[in-house]
């Protein structure tokens, strides 16, 4: 698979087959992703690969916190405090597209909650990846991490694996750090579901739209 195909075929997958991902394959895509660029080659990424019993325990704790109404308090502010157009419009369209695909009505709050709760189980993928950053690192490392995450997803796509990058898995960092033994002051950036796509699942049938190049680009000749 070439890079263009991987870019165009990659999507956020929200239903997975209960098929084990070999550790050697996980190590391969992580090794590939480690070639992502980083400022002065700092390579700030720290990755936790969670599966099996550990994943069952962790996802139960995360989903319980969510269903109990515990307030999320991630280690950093991911989204804007006040949404403005065009970002709020794209965000709304993204959510509505998923709910329409799943036939979840606007007033069916229970089904909406149940669908969102699946985030905290990494959509029942066999592998949950969690990404940490040393607290001494600054904003530039967030850029480095983005390149690492994209490299990881493209490498996974090339190997026949599906992914879903997830900010929600960083909503309760104290639970994750306690479960996995990470330092309290480490920064939990996000998580990612990893596995084999369930292509028969309705939730995987839609694709979000992308802006045209001319909408976000200015050329200066």
Instruction: List, for residues 177-192, the tens digit of each pLDDT value.
Output: 999 999 999 999 999 9
End-to-end CA distance of the chain: 34
Our CA angle for 71, 72, 73, nearest 5°, is 115
CB atoms near residue 192 (< 10 Å)? 22
pLDDT of residue 200: 97
Tell me the H-state helices in the chain. 3-9, 23-33, 52-67, 87-101, 109-117, 139-158, 173-180, 213-216
Name the DSSP letter for residue 76.
Answer: S
Supply 104's token pair. 């979840």
pTM for this one?
Answer: 0.96
- How many other CB atoms are there within 10 angstroms of residue 76's CB atom? 12
Residues of the chain with pLDDT under 50: none
Q: What is the pLDDT of residue 47?
A: 98
- Predicted confidence at residue 90, as pLDDT, reads 96
In this prediction, residue 126 carries a pLDDT of 98
Instruction: Say how far apart CA 107 and CA 86 lie, in whole Å.
Output: 25
Tokens linked to 21: 């991902």
pLDDT of residue 139: 96
Could you read off the pLDDT of 6-53 as tens digits, one per residue? 999 999 999 999 999 999 999 999 999 999 999 999 999 999 999 999
Q: How far is CA 163 from CA 5, 106, 148, 191, 200, in A?
A: 15, 27, 14, 10, 16
- Domain boundary assignment for the chain: 3-78+119-209
Second CATH level (architecture) for the domain 3-78+119-209: 3-Layer(aba) Sandwich (3.40)
Closest CA to 149 of 191, 119, 120, 208: 191
């Amino acid at each position: 698979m070439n890079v263009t195909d991987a870019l165009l075929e990659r999507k956020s997958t929200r239903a997975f087959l209960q098929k084990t991902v070999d550790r050697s394959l996980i190590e391969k895509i992580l090794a590939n992703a480690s070639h992502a660029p980083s400022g002065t080659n700092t390579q700030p990424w720290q990755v936790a690969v969670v599966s099996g019993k550990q994943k069952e325990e962790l996802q139960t704790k995360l989903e319980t916190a969510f269903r109990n109404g515990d307030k999320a308090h991630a280690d950093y502010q991911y989204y804007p405090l006040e949404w403005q157009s065009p970002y709020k419009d794209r965000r709304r369209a993204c959510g509505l597209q998923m709910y329409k695909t799943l036939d979840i009505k606007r007033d069916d709050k229970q089904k909406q909650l149940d669908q969102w709760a699946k985030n905290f189980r990494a959509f029942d993928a066999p592998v949950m990846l969690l990404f940490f950053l040393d607290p001494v690192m600054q904003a530039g490392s967030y850029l480095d991490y983005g390149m690492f995450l994209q490299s990881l997803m493209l490498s996974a796509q090339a190997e026949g694996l599906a992914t879903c990058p997830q900010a929600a898995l960083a909503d309760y960092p104290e639970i994750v750090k306690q479960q996995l033994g990470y330092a309290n002051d480490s920064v939990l950036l996000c998580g990612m579901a990893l596995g084999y796509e369930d292509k028969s699942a309705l939730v995987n049938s839609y694709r979000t739209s992308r802006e045209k190049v001319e909408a976000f680009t200015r050329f200066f000749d």
